[in-house]
Amino acid sequence: GEHNLENALAATTAAWALGADASAAGRILRRFRGIAHRLEPVATIKGVEFINDSKGTNPGATIKALRSFPGKAKILIAGGHDKGSDFQTLAAVIQAEVKHLVLLGETKQKLAAAVEKAGFKDYELVNSLEEAVAAAWSRAKAGDLVLLSPACASWDMFPDFEARGNLFKELVAALKKQHS
Name the segment(s) of the chain with CATH classification 3.90.190.20.
35-178
pLDDT for residue 34 is more than 70:
no
How many CB atoms are located within 10 Å of the residue 35 CB?
10
This prediction's pTM: 0.88
* Percent of the chain scoring above 70 in pLDDT: 89
DSSP string, the chain: -HHHHHHHHHHHHHHHHTT--HHHHHHHHHH----TTSSEEEEEETTEEEEE-TT--SHHHHHHHHHTSTT--EEEEE--B------HHHHHHHHHHEEEEEE-STTHHHHHHHHHHTT---EEE-SSHHHHHHHHHHH--TT-EEEE--SSBSTTTSSSHHHHHHHHHHHHHHHHHHT-
Distance CA 114, CA 8 (A): 33
Instruction: Return the CATH number of 35-178, one of 3.90.76.10, 3.40.50.1860, 3.40.47.10, 3.90.190.20.
Output: 3.90.190.20
Q: Per-residue pLDDT tens for 84-120?
A: 999 999 999 999 999 999 999 999 999 999 999 999 9
What would the mean pLDDT of 65-76 be, rounded to a whole number?
97
Return d(Cα 108, Cα 112) in angstroms, integer.
Answer: 6
Looking at residue 180, its pLDDT comes to 84
* pLDDT range class, residue 17, cuts 50, 70, 90: confident
The stretch 66-85 carries a mean pLDDT of 97
The 10 Å CB-count burial string (b at 16+, else e) for 142-174 is eebbbbbbbbbbbbebbeebeebbbbbbebbee
CB 151 within 8 A of CB 85: yes
Q: What is the pLDDT of residue 59?
A: 98
